[in-house]
């Protein structure tokens, strides 16, 4: 058994030195790990250092772990060498299923143990990626958000051949490494967050295509409209609050599809009792024992801080 | 001519004392206006004061205008009286077209001048709302985001019978009143921001309905994933940056629909040359003369501030 305790991981190997792979390297370095980056292209080393150097000032502001240093990264084009002392592997190779299947088979042979391998894939399923590997039980999805050295979320789920213990290990490790692990109940293309983003993005493309809005108007409507709210509360809790004392149950019955189906090219699903109960139950768990006025006050307190910060940076960042 | 200069508005009449109407009243009070709130239900006065009082601490933190006071609001159930000395009217009545058409005809008779009337409607078009009015040329959409006393965006567009000068007046007034006016080029159901939200919301409902995710997982994926980014940059500029030096042109060609169409129930439109050119031109205007590395650094600088603030409030607000 060569899989260490999640708290004892010392060396992380990042496979792929692109924006995501090198971004992961910067994250792990800032959290005090030794990092080896593998890329088959020797010229990727320069880009890797540029990405880590660009990220470092932000990571210093967020706070470095004891002993964290940019010097604790090394680059190699030798896959076997990069695996020798890996306690965890984060794979961020190009999004081609044939390439990933071969890569995972190679990783498997180069590292004949049960060290966990996490994949940054956005558009592939682990069940497909692991299909041609000898030891697929330690392979999990570990999908980050760009930039990986700042955004907390990592979506985690196993494939058909993944050992649930490997999924739980990954959840514990990512949390220990400063990430916010989101353990999914099942595989779905696009995972969770990218599915929501893609629905919005496709509506954006339809609106621009139909001259209903320009890209500038779209971005303004996000930054000055619902954007700041989404940094504080997710849509389920926000709309639960929008339902007033009646909460999500009132919200779903009040905003029936006939009212809003012309607001987007994606029609609402039928709002049946089962769906209402699932939404209500989830929102009540999210609310916990906090009253609606209490949550509204917390939302506003958080928004004030965000908006004050936004007013400072908006001229520069937007 | 009784329409004042946008900078000379002293008294605002808010029609409707619900969450949106009273929220507007709180906003205008904080910005130093005298506010009259009309509601046909006398019992709405208590709710109005509760909403204004709940909003006031946040408004104090955001900074009150000179002379701004909660005492400068009065409530009436007399429509004509509420219109007597109005320099601007913000209408936030229930979302029923028959009710709105009658209300606007009544407002018109009660205020036989060209004072601008802005509607908070989310789901109706001004062309329909103004249909039965004598003087529809001064009636515009002025759609806020909840809570109206904090969120900056106001979507503004005229109906078929609206005088473009009234639209421009509203843009200038809302900006003077501390809002971020977004002038739309044309009417579209749901306006802009709600269309994007609705596409995402409908995908959320589909995912929960299919047990692909729970409401808690959905909200986590937003708050820790793409939410914070959306408070800083809109999707067009974010994806323009995600395209690297190739920008939006590379992004649209790289993420072709076949890759991501299974990520949401809303398929992408065909990515034709016209659409690509519209997106690229808009993103280049958004980028201005700032380089991509420069914008990435600004994005990260803003994200660090947001995340540091979020880490402070997250335990409370999420």
- Supply the CATH number for residue B176's domain: 3.40.50.720
The span from the CA of A221 to the CA of A296, in Å, is: 22
Residues of chain A found within 8 Å of residue B266, distances taken between Cβ atoms: 198-199, 202-203, 264-266
| DSSP label of B266 | S
* Same domain membership, residue A275 and residue A232: yes
The span from the CA of B161 to the CA of B184, in Å, is: 16
Identity of the residue in B191, B199, B275 whose CB atom sits nearest the CB atom of A203: B199
The span from the CA of A259 to the CA of A174, in Å, is: 42
Does the pLDDT at position A128 exceed 90? yes
Total structural domains in chain B?
A: 2
Residue B206 three-state SS = helix
Write the CB contacts of B295 (distance below 8 Å, at least 6 apart in sequence): B237, B241, B287
Within a domain: B41: yes
- Among B134, B87, B81, B82, which Cα is nearest to B112's? B134
* Same domain membership, residue B213 and residue B99: no
* Same domain membership, residue A93 and residue A19: yes
Residue B34 three-state SS = strand
Residues of chain A found within 8 Å of residue B281, distances taken between Cβ atoms: 215
* Same domain membership, residue A258 and residue A125: no
What value of ipTM does the predicted structure carry? 0.93
Shortest Cα distance from B127 to chain A (angstroms)? 16
Q: Which pLDDT does position A283 carry in this prediction?
A: 92
Q: How distant, in Å, are the alpha carbons of A194, A226, B112 from that of A153?
A: 12, 20, 56
Within a domain: B63: yes
Of the residues A125, A215, A303, the best mutation for testing chain B's interface (the one with the most B CB atoms within 10 Å of its CB) is A215
pLDDT band at residue A16 using 50, 70 and 90 as cut-offs: very high
Interchain contact, B227 vs A223, CB within 8 Å: no
Write the CB contacts of A210 (distance below 8 Å, at least 6 apart in sequence): none
Percent of chain A topping pLDDT 90? 76
* Same domain membership, residue B22 and residue B170: yes
Q: How distant, in Å, are the alpha carbons of A42, A49, A75, A191, B303 from that of A46?
A: 9, 5, 10, 32, 25
Identity of the residue in B123, B219, B225 whose CB atom sits nearest the CB atom of A145: B225
Q: Kindly give the confidence (pLDDT) of every residue in chain B, 318 residues in length, as a single tens digit, with 9 standing for 90 and above.
A: 589 999 999 999 999 999 999 999 999 999 999 999 999 999 999 999 999 999 999 999 999 999 999 999 999 999 999 999 999 999 999 999 999 999 999 999 999 899 999 999 999 999 999 999 999 999 999 999 989 999 999 999 999 999 999 999 999 999 999 999 999 999 999 999 999 999 999 999 999 999 999 999 999 999 999 988 888 888 999 889 888 788 899 888 876 666 677 888 888 888 889 999 999 999 999 999 988 888 888 888 888 888 887 777 664 444
Q: Which two tokens stand for residue A194?
A: 């990218």
Question: Is the peptide bond prior to A258 cis by the omega test (within 30 degrees of 0)?
Answer: no
Percent of chain A topping pLDDT 70? 96
| Structural domain boundaries enclosing A288 | 193-314
| DSSP label of A290 | -
Tell me how long chain B is. Answer: 318
| DSSP label of A138 | G
Nearest CA in chain A to B240: A215
* Same domain membership, residue A227 and residue A120: no
Interchain contact, B214 vs A58, CB within 8 Å: no
pLDDT band at residue A258 using 50, 70 and 90 as cut-offs: low
Judge whether B145 and A226 are in contact, CB under 8 Å.
yes
Name the helix (H) or strand (E) containing A207: helix A193-209
* Same domain membership, residue A209 and residue A126: no
Tens of pLDDT, residue by residue over B207-258, are 999 999 999 999 999 999 998 888 888 899 988 988 878 889 988 887 666 6
Q: How distant, in Å, are the alpha carbons of A211, B126, B146 from that of B188?
A: 10, 10, 20
Q: Which pLDDT does position B313 carry in this prediction?
A: 67
* Same domain membership, residue A118 and residue A57: yes
Tens of pLDDT, residue by residue over A226-241, are 988 888 888 999 889 8
Domain boundary among B164, B183, B202: B183
Within a domain: A188: no
Q: How many CB atoms lie within 10 A of CB A291?
A: 10
Judge whether A281 and B273 are in contact, CB under 8 Å.
no
| CA A21 distance to own-chain centroid | 14
Tens of pLDDT, residue by residue over A38-83, are 999 999 999 999 999 999 999 999 999 999 999 999 999 999 999 9
| DSSP label of A143 | E
Write the CB contacts of B258 (distance below 8 Å, at least 6 apart in sequence): none
* Same domain membership, residue A215 and residue A154: no
């Amino acid at each position: 058994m060569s899989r260490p305790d999640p708290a004892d991981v010392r060396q992380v190997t990042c496979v792929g030195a692109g924006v995501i792979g090198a971004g992961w390297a910067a994250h792990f370095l800032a959290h005090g790990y030794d990092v080896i980056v593998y890329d088959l292209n020797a010229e990727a080393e320069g880009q890797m250092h540029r990405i880590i150097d660009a990220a470092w000032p932000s990571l210093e502001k967020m706070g470095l772990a004891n002993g964290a240093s940019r010097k604790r990264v090394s680059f190699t084009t030798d896959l076997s060498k990069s695996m020798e002392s890996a306690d965890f592997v984060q794979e961020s190779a190009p999004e081609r299923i044939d390439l990933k299947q071969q890569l995972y088979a190679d990783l498997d042979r180069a590292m004949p143990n049960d060290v966990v391998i996490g994949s940054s894939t956005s558009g592939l399923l682990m069940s497909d990626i692991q299909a041609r590997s000898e030891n697929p039980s330690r392979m999990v999805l570990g999908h980050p958000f760009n930039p990986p050295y700042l955004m907390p979320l990592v979506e985690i789920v196993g494939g058909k051949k993944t050992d649930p213990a490997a999924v739980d290990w990954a959840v514990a490790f990512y949390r220990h490494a400063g990430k916010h692990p989101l353990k999914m109940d099942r595989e779905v293309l696009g995972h969770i967050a990218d599915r929501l983003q893609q629905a919005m993005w496709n509506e954006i493309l339809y609106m621009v295509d139909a001259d209903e809005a320009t890209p500038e108007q779209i971005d303004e409507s996000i930054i000055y409209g619902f954007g700041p709210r989404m940094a504080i509360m997710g849509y389920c809790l926000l709309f639960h609050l929008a339902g007033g004392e009646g909460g999500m149950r009132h919200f779903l019955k009040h905003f029936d599809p006939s009212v809003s189906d012309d607001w987007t090219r994606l029609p609402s699903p039928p709002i049946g009792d089962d769906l209402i109960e699932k939404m209500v139950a989830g929102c009540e768990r999210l609310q916990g024992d906090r009253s609606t006025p209490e949550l509204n006050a917390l939302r506003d307190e958080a928004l004030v801080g965000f908006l004050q910060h936004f007013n400072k940076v908006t001229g520069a960042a937007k």
